[in-house]
Amino acid sequence: MNAQRKKILILSAAIVLAGIFLDQLTKWLCVRFLMPVGSVHLIPHVLDLTYVENTGAAFGMLKEHRWVFMVVSTVALLAMAGMLFTFKEKKHTLYAVAVSLVLSGGIGNMIDRVRLGYVVDFIDVSPLFSFAVFNGADSFVCVGAALLVLALLLDWYQENKQAKQEGTPSSGGNGK
């Protein structure tokens, strides 16, 4: 294993561990201090902290299919972990950061599902948007997924730019 790959794996491990720690810490604080009161208006008409026990998947979907979702989630998490070890050398650090964020969020919520039978949610932007209550792990997954799309777009752009400079058609475009 070369030095660059080793650095990326260390960075990934640090992101995953820090994300899981932050997620579990905020959920513990939520259970300890927010559950007894139910909801707190943090920023009026913008942000509330609201204690919710989510028995479904992301944002409360698939409530009646908990075990199916857990199996699919486990397979997806293992696939994401595998991606960290199989990145080609040309892939940049943004891929590792993105996948690590998705992993940390997925693992954080999986810990809740296995330990409690539900996920603790508490970030409530409903006063501003009509949206589900979510948690830090959900945010890590969404930000990680967005970064992964960005990394893919950046690679696609670089490949097209290089192909145009070399005068050869790119694999991702229409050849113009």
Catalytic positions, written as ranges: 121, 138
Supply the DSSP symbol for 36: T
Side-chain-side CA neighbours of 146 within 13 Å: the count stands at: 6
Angle at 44 between CA 144 and CA 54, to 5 degrees: 45
Tokens of 10: 């260390």
Q: Which of 106, 132, 116, 118 is nearest to 23 (CA)?
A: 106
